[in-house]
Amino acid sequence: MEDKKKILYSGMQATGNLTLGNYLGALRNWKTLNEEYECFFGVMDFHSLTVRQNPAEFRQRARNLFALYVAAGLDPEKNCIYFQSHVSTHAELSWILNCYTYMGELNRMTQFKDKASKHSDNINAGLYTYPVLMAADILLYQADVVPVGKDQLQHLEITRDIAQRFNGLYGDVFTVPKPYTGKIGAGVKSLQNPEKKMSKSDENPNASIYLMDDADTIRRKFKRAVTDSDTQVRYDVKEKPGISNLMDIYGAVTGKDMKDIESEFAGVGYGDFKAAVGEAVAGLLAPMQERFEEIKNDKEYLDRVIGANDEKAFYVSNKTLRKVKKKVGLTDRIK
């Protein structure tokens, strides 16, 4: 009998335009994970509501994100790719878990403080309880592992705390998830400020490579990337953060290590190196961009796979929710 695969859960918000950092750091690696794990990937549109959205643009962005998942190589037949807002169990479990989460825990969430400072005119309760909804997302699918960056590690810790508290009261209801420790993608930094990560919300459009940037735009952005006054292509994150970031990107795209890259560009100026990085990235993204346009424009196909995956997500997550409702003493619905 074949061993049952462990479950992996992840997702992205349906806001902004995904960057090269999102692709190299997460999306590209996701497509290899279904060989080892049963994977659930969410279009996290409920989470996106903590910031005001233009309704028409938001709907299109969410649909485009689903299409981009598929274009990046995630097979919707092998992976469950679904819309968070289409699966009512998320909101239901989130409310129940709110009642098992302490204010002190939420007060310690550094990401709330960071986001509140950036959106001081809209510090809403959803922003505050965001980690509880994230806990519900993960626990509904009995996820064993969750790939998280440093900025989300605190949210996974509170998820584990909530699960352990609930299990302590009611028995083994939830799988307590662990951070995914497999191959991690490149930590891509801003092209204009290599001290911070590349972000889809960066106000400087030259700081980020967006997945839908055309080849000329990609080349131009790399040409303008911040480096240093030296001319040597050498890996030194502390002394040469700009060049080191470009080398990380080039290495992630070509599979070459830092020593190989240093040898390849020995005696070559920064201009030629930046051009080579731009060409490599444009070449990497072109097939995905072409596939994305095909999928996005095939409404019948998109509707079919969205519907099928939403249905699977509800079926799996509702098994957990029914168990939770029974444990806490909610009355059964009359059929």
Locate 122 and state its tokens: 């809209």
- Quote the CA–CA distance of 154 and 159 in Å, as a whole number: 9
200 is catalytic: yes
197 is catalytic: yes
Residue 1 identity? M
- Quote the CA–CA distance of 37 and 28 in Å, as a whole number: 15
- Quote the CA–CA distance of 280 and 120 in Å, as a whole number: 40
Distances (CA, A) of 32 to 38, 74, 243: 11, 9, 29
Among residues 200, 256, 296, 323, which one is catalytic?
Answer: 200
4 is catalytic: no
Among residues 197, 221, 240, 274, which one is catalytic?
Answer: 197
Strands lying side by side in the sheet with 37-44: 80-83, 37-44, 6-13, 145-146, 178-179
**241: number of CA atoms within 13 Å, CB side?**
13
Residue 96 main-chain phi, psi, to 5 deg: -60, -45
DSSP letter assigned to residue 16: S
> Which residues are catalytic, by number?
115, 197, 200
